[in-house]
Amino acid sequence: MGSAGVALSTSPSSFFYNPALLYARVREKSFFTLTGSYHDSIRAANFHDHEPNPLMENPFNHLSATFSGSNVALTLQNQISLKDRDIEALGGATRFRGQTHTLLQLDWAIGRSVFAFGLSVKALSVSERNPIDIRNDRILADFIVQTSLGRFELLESKALISVGFGLLLDYDWFKMGIASDRLAYAQGSDPLRVSADEIYKALDWGFSFSTPTYDSNNLLHLLKLQTALDLVDLGSDLSRELRIGFDLKLQLLPTWSVSLKSGYREKKDLPSDLFKFDLTQGIHTLGLGARLGAFTIDLALEIPMEWYQGTTDADSTVEGMLAISFSL
């Protein structure tokens, strides 16, 4: 859905966008969630040049477990990413710089009537291993051994502690959310800082609309449509984005459904450009999702709009992601 989600509660992990969404999630009575995902880029030039491991450009995988009570959630997350792909003089292998991000996150939310407020505390540590070599004929074995058993060096300067907040106005069919993960923060060994400028740089503002799940007779609608609009990092000229998303869900049972998702995201250099579209900078997202009782499966692609216009170069990539989650 274009990565929109500041005011959208569609999964057990929605509160990562906005901690106030934990209040809506708690009402779903989901107390444990285990999620795993794999993400990578697809670069056509890797196939044209017959490079080793053509499907491995910037692989990224993560595993997280969330435990939640009545209004509190604790998340443990581990992310492994391989960067700076290099194939020179390796004889059928691909060399990367590997990083692991270990996150401990505590979220708390409270609500009354249509209002909700949430706080989020994150502690992040980063480690690195360089190089990591993946042989073309032993991809899975090398990946597991070198990322799970290999030694990573702690990067103390990359460690981060941050406190964020979120607000939610929830009218069921309409939601508005505001969030920032820079209410207070400390990088490396620096003391904890509070900066109004940093809060504004990381400020997200989002809206969502949805059709009813049930009709007036409390019968499940066959189709449910959800839309979202996010303005992300409003004060940052480097990461400001407009995100738009759509989700059309075929509801088979209350806990069994299939979704077709689509969206659009575009970076904005200036605040005045927020609602001006430059398709050469845009990314189209397309995905399929299925909820099968306690399991959720999502498959998604991020496609540069240049691909539709036929103006891409050999280095352009399509992003792909597969995620599976289990909730109780």
pLDDT in tens, 142-168: 888 888 877 889 998 889 999 999 999
pLDDT for the residue 90: 67
Q: Is 5 part of any domain?
A: no
pTM of the model: 0.88
Number of folded domains that form the chain: 1
**Distance (Å, whole) CA 46 – CA 29:** 46
Owning domain of residue 46: 14-327
> What is the band of 89 on the pLDDT scale with cuts at 50, 70, 90?
low
pLDDT for the residue 27: 52
193-252 per-position pLDDT tens digit: 998 999 999 999 999 999 998 988 889 999 999 999 999 999 998 999 999 999 999 999
CATH number of the structural domain spanning residue 168: 2.40.160.40
Q: Is 244 part of any domain?
A: yes
Q: Is 3 part of any domain?
A: no
**Distance (Å, whole) CA 44 – CA 105:** 37
Q: Is 27 part of any domain?
A: yes
Decide if 250 contacts 257 (C-beta within 8 A): yes
**Distance (Å, whole) CA 161 – CA 288:** 34
Q: Is 8 part of any domain?
A: no
Decide if 26 contacts 20 (C-beta within 8 A): no
| Matching residue, tokens 């459904």 | 257
**Distance (Å, whole) CA 313 – CA 63:** 33
Residue 180 has, within 13 A of its CA and on its CB side, a CA count of 18
Tell me the mean pLDDT in the region 111-128.
94
Phi/psi-derived region of residue 94, left when phi > 0, alpha when psi is between -120 and 50, beta in every other case: beta
Decide if 1 contacts 245 (C-beta within 8 A): yes
The three-state secondary structure class of 251 is: strand
